């Protein structure tokens, strides 16, 4: 189905305290950084606003920061919304190894701005992980709904949780299983790297088997 023109917000400015302060969006998995994966996932969106310190990217993005820095994800969303005028916006954390496949699930949903009866009172959709947890920072939202939610919070959302921002909205959740897995710790990173390398190992094994039978 044709997709409604959408913007995207990628949150890439956290402290990564459980990763000893490492620049989490720049962590490499199978030759690509987590930030590269997030940006590729929302290809076609305009603008793509990355909230965080500018980093080398081979993509057309707009960089911004919340003021003051490290004000939390809600403050980052608020800063990015000031640069967006589309009816819908994707919101992603920059720590998703499977960002492209996960966003593909979101893209399959009918436009939120549609006049269809089932979408009239819908503020957004987001994915749930394998444990059934709602992944607020893996969603597609009405831009106007996000603006209203930000205005309702004190201090422009600085220090507020994403749950506080979004839990009052009318949201549809879609199960995504392991596609919604994020990277918060070094163990998460190693698991993601192992998972991404498995198809390559399987292909090598299959290729070797084919050679033995020819």
Average pLDDT over residues 106-134: 80
Average pLDDT over residues 70-98: 93
- Indicate the range of 15-24, 41-50, 188-197 predicted with least confidence: 15-24
- The whole-angstrom distance between residue 36's C-alpha and the CA centroid of its chain comes to 12
Residue 116 pLDDT more than 90?
no
Closest CA relative to residue 140, chosen from 1, 4, 2, 39? 4
Q: What is the pTM of this model?
A: 0.83
DSSP for 153-213?
SGGGGTT--HHHHHTTS-EEEEEEEGGG----SHHHHHHHHHHHHHHHHHHHHHHHHHHHH
């Amino acid at each position: 189905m044709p997709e409604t023109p959408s913007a995207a917000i990628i949150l890439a400015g956290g402290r990564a305290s459980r990763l000893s302060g490492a620049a989490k969006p720049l962590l490499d998995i199978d030759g690509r950084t987590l930030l590269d994966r997030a940006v590729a996932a929302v290809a076609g969106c305009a603008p793509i606003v990355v909230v965080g310190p500018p980093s080398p990217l081979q993509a057309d993005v707009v960089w911004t920061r919340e003021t003051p820095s490290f004000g939390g994800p809600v403050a980052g969303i608020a800063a990015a919304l000031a640069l967006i005028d589309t009816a819908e916006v994707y919101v992603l954390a920059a720590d998703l190894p499977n960002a492209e496949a996960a966003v593909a699930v979101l893209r399959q949903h009918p436009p939120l701005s549609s006049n269809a009866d089932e979408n009239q009172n819908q503020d957004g959709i987001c994915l749930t992980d394998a444990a059934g947890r709602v992944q607020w920072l893996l969603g597609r939202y009405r831009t106007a709904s996000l603006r209203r939610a930000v205005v309702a919070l004190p201090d422009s959302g600085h220090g507020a949780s994403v749950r506080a921002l979004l839990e009052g909205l009318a949201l549809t959740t879609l199960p995504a299983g392991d596609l919604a897995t994020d990277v918060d710790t070094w163990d998460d990173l190693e698991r993601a790297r192992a998972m991404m390398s498995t198809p390559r190992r399987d292909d090598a094994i299959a290729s070797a088997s084919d050679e033995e039978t020819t």
